[in-house]
Structure 1
Amino acid sequence: MKLLEHTTTWAKGDIYQGKVMLCVGALFLIAVIMILRSNHELLKGTLIPFSLAIVMLLGYGGFLTFTRNGHITQVESVYNESKMKAIEQEYAKAKKDHEAYSKLKPVWALLIVIALGLFFLFKTDYLKGLALGFIGLFFIALVIDTNLHYRLQPYFELLNSFS
């Protein structure tokens, strides 16, 4: 039963983060609409990265929000059939996610540094805005992955102790 409690806690955390991502994505959508109406070149440069951020926030936030309840139900049904099978499946999934989050954090940080370097190399306001937008995009991705990884770690350690 301990597995189901921890799975539910982890999934509800992901659902909450998905809802927050959807709200932030909606705010970014409002910001993009306002930027479209402005005449400032620096802000116009941020449109492409902000649009990508909106797709990421709304897409992945929606995925988390709408699929994690089904995940709880699936784990519960497998757990009722075979406890070890449920633990093995969850461990494999958590291990894959743990490895992905561990590998992506340095990538996002490196991309932030590269975009920051490009900001200082670019001369026009539009390109500087583009670089600033990518800094924001990569920072958002870093924050999302860090939060997901932080919440996954106790669950992964619990599954590791079962194995």
Structure 2
Amino acid sequence: MDFVENLQTWVKGDIIQGKWMIGIAILIILPICVLFTKTSNSFQKGMLIPLGLLFLMNVGYGGYLLFSKPKHLEQTEKSFQLKSQETIENEIEKIKVNNKSYLMTKYIWGGLLILSVVCSFIFKKDYFQGLSLGLIVMFFGMLLIDTLLHYRLKTYLIALNQNQIGRNLLN
């Protein structure tokens, strides 16, 4: 595959994930949040804040993916037509920075997930146990999202590096 095909595949994957994130947020998380606001159960009230944050993160980041990735694709394709080698090198550098960011956020989400699990055993009040469980769900959701995005990014980076090596051999 050439550079543009790899770029299009990566962008399409991120757009599909953005759609899934928004869909899951609206079809699953939002109704649960609405149900929890109408209850007097303190355990469910504790879960409401983290689930509300997970809803906002899914809608916000999913929307960001839907709107930013097509623009990135268009700009990168135009740049590639003008200066192909420079565009590939710039794209590889951007992807390497994003790779480090995803790696760091996966450790952060994982650490916060473990901390939330520990807190769920420490807290005895229903509200705080609900809060801990909600945080577990939220951090697991964010870990899952970033893991999927990172996996596709690594695949794209490998393809770009192979493409770059092939170009260097031909020159």
Where on the TM-score scale, by shorter chain, does this alignment land: which range?
over 0.9
Q: Distance in 1 between matches of 2:86 and 2:52?
A: 41
Gaps of at least 5 residues in structure 1 are: none
Q: What is the alpha-carbon distance in structure 1 between the residues aligned to residue 110 and residue 74 of structure 2?
A: 36
Q: Distance in 2 between matches of 1:153 and 1:131?
A: 32
Corresponding position of 1:8: 8
Q: Is the 8 A contact 2:6 2:160 kept in 1?
A: no
Post-superposition offset of 1:160: 2.3
Q: How does 1:3-152 map to 2 (within 5 A)?
A: 3-26=3-26, 27-152=28-153
For residues 72-128 of structure 1, the C-alpha deviation after alignment (integer angstroms, 9 at most, x for no partner) is 111110001000121022111111111111122122111111111111111110000
TM (normalized to structure 2)? 0.91
Percent of pairs with identical residues: 38
Q: Give the partner amino acid of 1:3.
A: F
Moved over 6 A (4+): none
**Aligned residues, how many?**
163
Measured after TM superposition, the shift of residue 24 of structure 1 is: 1.1
Amino acid at match of 1:103: M
Larger displacement relative to structure 2 (72-81 or 25-34) = 25-34
Which residue of structure 1 lines up, in the alignment, with residue 158 of structure 2? 157
User: Structure 2 unaligned runs (5+)?
Assistant: 166-171
The 2-side partners of 1:94 and 1:142 are apart by 19
Distance across 1 between alignment mates of 2:136 and 2:25: 17
Q: RMSD of the TM alignment (CA)?
A: 1.2
Opposite residue 7 of structure 1, the aligned amino acid is L
Question: One-letter code of the match for 1:71?
Answer: H
The answer to whether the 8 A contact 2:117-2:132 is kept is: yes
For residues 98 and 53 of structure 1, the distance between their equivalents in structure 2, rounded to whole angstroms, comes to 23
